[in-house]
């Protein structure tokens, strides 16, 4: 069994307790305007260009068999993404490591071996493995099998998902994860589709079904994005939506950050939110307060 993985990040302190290894899956059906991991959106491997490492030597253009790279005097090599087939020949010839591939095909056994090397850190910290993306459920068979292998080794598992997948895939993943994070990004169907490319009806239906099937809590996440879902009106509607759900869950607010913006440049793509600044602390605090007021018994946490 194989999957395309963007990165395996060791010694992560986020997305679950303790020291963790985070496996970033490639491929996602959503296109969130604020996505901080655009290198995980597409399913296949793809070429990244790191401008600060380029020596402008022309080796990449010389080796490309598809004429997808051309030299521009006084500037970076120009990559024609319509011609590039992501063969990786240019990355092998780049002396400055300015061209790299995002994504690699892994076997299940190789990922498990990679993870198992950190067993001591999991035991000492109460940590484990987190499956992230991209969308983990886009390669659900591999994700479920990986969690099963981790459990066989006594490793705690966590997974992050948008919930946009066939419900059976979500249910299977839930059954093999100790900790499950699920994004609910916007209460309004039309706005959710405008901001992510997909409506939220299927996600909300999956969430309601999951609450009936899962005993352990579902950790709902709201990425709080300025100008997208941070208005008082939306927060009131969001709280009303969740308060009507029955089951074991809490809510974590994730304030907007711009840490992934440079990845769009490396992919030759425009970042939809441009120079949008992070929310001020006072605005985040007000949002959390409004949600707590609207949700009552449901715990509301914030990472800020």
83 and 212 in a single domain? The answer is no
Give me the pLDDT at residue 32, please.
97
Give me the pLDDT at residue 14, please.
83
Give me the pLDDT at residue 226, please.
96
List, in order, residues 6 or more apart from 113 with CB less than 8 Å away.
none
pLDDT tens for residues 25-51?
Answer: 999 999 999 999 999 999 999 999 999
What is the mean predicted confidence (pLDDT) over 232-260?
95
pLDDT tens for residues 106-165?
Answer: 999 999 999 999 999 998 999 999 999 999 999 999 999 999 999 999 999 999 999 999
Instruction: Give the largest Cα separation in the chain, rounded.
Output: 63
Query: Torsions phi, psi of 240, nearest 5?
Result: -65, -40
Give me the pLDDT at residue 260, please.
87
Domain total in the chain: 2
51 and 185 in a single domain? The answer is no
Residue owning tokens 């005097």: 73
33 and 59 in a single domain? The answer is no
140 and 254 in a single domain? The answer is yes
Beta bridge partners of 14: none
29 and 85 in a single domain? The answer is no
Q: What string of DSSP letters covers 104-139?
A: EEEEHHHHHHHHHTTHHHHHHHT-EEEEESS-GGGG
What is the model's pTM? 0.92
Choose among 104, 99, 106, 6: nearest CA to 59.
99
Query: Torsions phi, psi of 260, nearest 5?
Result: -100, 5
Give me the pLDDT at residue 74, please.
82
185 and 79 in a single domain? The answer is no
Residue 304 has pLDDT above 80, yes or no: no
Q: How far apart are CA 56 and CA 69, in angstroms?
A: 12
Give me the pLDDT at residue 267, please.
95
Binned at pLDDT 50, 70 and 90, residue 72 comes out as confident
Binned at pLDDT 50, 70 and 90, residue 15 comes out as confident
What is the mean predicted confidence (pLDDT) over 84-103?
95
What is the mean predicted confidence (pLDDT) over 175-185?
97
What is the mean predicted confidence (pLDDT) over 266-289?
95
pLDDT tens for residues 189-202?
Answer: 999 999 999 999 99
| Domain of residue 164, residue span | 2-43+103-302
The CATH number given to whatever domain includes residue 77 is: 3.30.70.20
Q: How many CB atoms lie within 10 A of CB 133?
A: 24
286 and 171 in a single domain? The answer is yes
The CATH number given to whatever domain includes residue 155 is: 3.20.20.70
């Amino acid at each position: 069994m194989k999957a395309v993985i963007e990165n395996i990040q060791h010694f992560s302190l986020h997305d679950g307790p303790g020291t963790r290894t985070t496996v970033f899956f490639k491929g996602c059906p959503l296109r969130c305007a604020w996505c901080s991991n655009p290198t995980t959106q597409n399913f296949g491997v793809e070429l990244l260009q790191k401008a600060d490492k380029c020596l402008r030597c022309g080796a990449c253009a010389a080796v490309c068999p598809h004429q997808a790279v051309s030299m521009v005097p006084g500037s970076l090599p120009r990559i024609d993404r319509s011609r590039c087939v992501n063969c990786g020949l240019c990355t092998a010839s780049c002396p400055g490591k300015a061209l790299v591939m995002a994504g690699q095909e892994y076997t299940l056994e190789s990922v498990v071996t990679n993870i198992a090397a950190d067993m001591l850190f999991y035991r000492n910290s109460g940590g484990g493995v987190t499956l992230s993306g991209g969308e983990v459920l886009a390669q659900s068979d591999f994700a479920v099998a990986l969690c099963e292998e981790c459990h066989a080794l006594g490793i705690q598992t966590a997974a992050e998902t948008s919930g946009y997948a066939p419900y059976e895939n979500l249910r299977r993943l839930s059954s093999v994860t100790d900790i499950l994070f699920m994004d609910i990004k916007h209460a309004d169907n039309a706005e959710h589709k405008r901001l992510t490319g997909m409506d939220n009806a299927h996600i909300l239906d999956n969430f309601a079904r999951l609450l009936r099937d899962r005993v352990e809590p579902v950790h709902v996440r709201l990425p709080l994005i300025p100008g997208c879902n941070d208005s008082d009106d939306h927060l009131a509607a969001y709280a009303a939506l969740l308060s009507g759900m029955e089951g074991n869950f809490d809510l974590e607010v994730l304030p907007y950050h711009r840490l992934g913006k440079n990845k769009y440049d490396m992919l030759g793509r425009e970042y939809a939110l441009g120079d949008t600044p992070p929310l001020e602390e006072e605005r985040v605090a007000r949002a959390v307060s409004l949600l707590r007021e609207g949700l009552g018994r449901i715990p509301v946490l914030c990472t800020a």
